[in-house]
Amino acid sequence: MASKFSSHFLPAAVLVVLLMLGASGVPLQDTTTESPAGDTSGEEEGEKTSDLLSNSKVLRCLLRTLQSHKEEFAKEFPEDVAILDHDSSSFPKKCPDSNFSKEACFQRLAQGLLKYTVLLRHAEREYPSKPYVSVAKSYSGYLIEEIKQKMKNRALVVPLTSSQEEHLLKDFDGLDDYNRKIAARRILHHLHLFLIDGKRSICRREQPRGAVICRTLGTATC
């Protein structure tokens, strides 16, 4: 199914960041992987390449947007870059490399993004003037809808309850200013890694076996 994503409905902050990215010449990074032998992924070989989730423009633009966060963090906290990888167990898990169907991977990616859209509220509070934070939140919502359109049973993606959302955010309340900002940066960092891993995992399951595939960012602009 073709994406219904349209630039006419993007928030102003989203359009600002896309224009900034297009003008900045952000370098593109390509990562190729080979589909593992014997992967029982249930590929739909008749699906057009342009319709594959791994080729989603929303996903590609979200990855490009989150790159700018990494550069800013290195300037803001030059001594603390390694701290971003701390407490990684508390963030959504990626799809396993094998023994996991495409449908199950879609579900895990969408469910993880639902959690990140809540966590990004904290990042918005700490960095209200950073357009890429709003972009990350908006695009995550668009991507969830794209994933659900690809699923055979979209009801498997269950929205978080208000109590679950409160539980995710309550731990940030007692932090000092430094640790609140570090927590916000860590959310953006792990969202970026989650999407890179998710794109690779989906790509392996969407493409024919044995194909060399999976550009991390793609070559087109947002």
Q: What is the three-class DSSP state of 219?
A: coil
Q: With contact defined as beta carbons under 8 Å apart, do 61 and 3 qualify? A: no
How big is the CA angle at 120 (ends 70 and 128), to the nearest 5 degrees? Answer: 75
Identify which of 76, 75, 60, 54 has the alpha carbon closest to the alpha carbon of residue 150.
54
Residue 191 has pLDDT above 60, yes or no: yes
Q: With contact defined as beta carbons under 8 Å apart, do 32 and 203 qualify? A: no
Domain extents in the chain: 52-209
Q: How far is CA 79 from the centre of its chain?
A: 26
Residue 57 has pLDDT above 90, yes or no: yes
Q: Which residues contact 116 (CB under 8 A, 6 or more apart)?
A: 92, 140, 187, 191, 194
What is the topology classification, in CATH, of domain 52-209?
A: Growth Hormone; Chain: A; (1.20.1250)
Which single residue is written with the structure tokens 């792990």? 190
User: What pTM did the predictor assign?
Assistant: 0.75
Q: Over the stretch 134-159, which tens digit does the pLDDT of each residue have?
A: 999 999 999 999 999 999 999 999 99
Return the structure tokens found at 54: 């791994």
Q: Over the stretch 20-47, which tens digit does the pLDDT of each residue have?
A: 444 444 443 433 333 343 344 444 445 5
pLDDT at site 222: 60
| Helix axes 131-150 and 102-126, enclosed angle (nearest 10) | 160
Q: Over the stretch 64-105, which tens digit does the pLDDT of each residue have?
A: 989 888 778 878 887 776 777 776 778 999 998 888 999 999
Return the structure tokens found at 153: 């049973």
Q: What is the mean pLDDT of residues 194-205?
A: 92
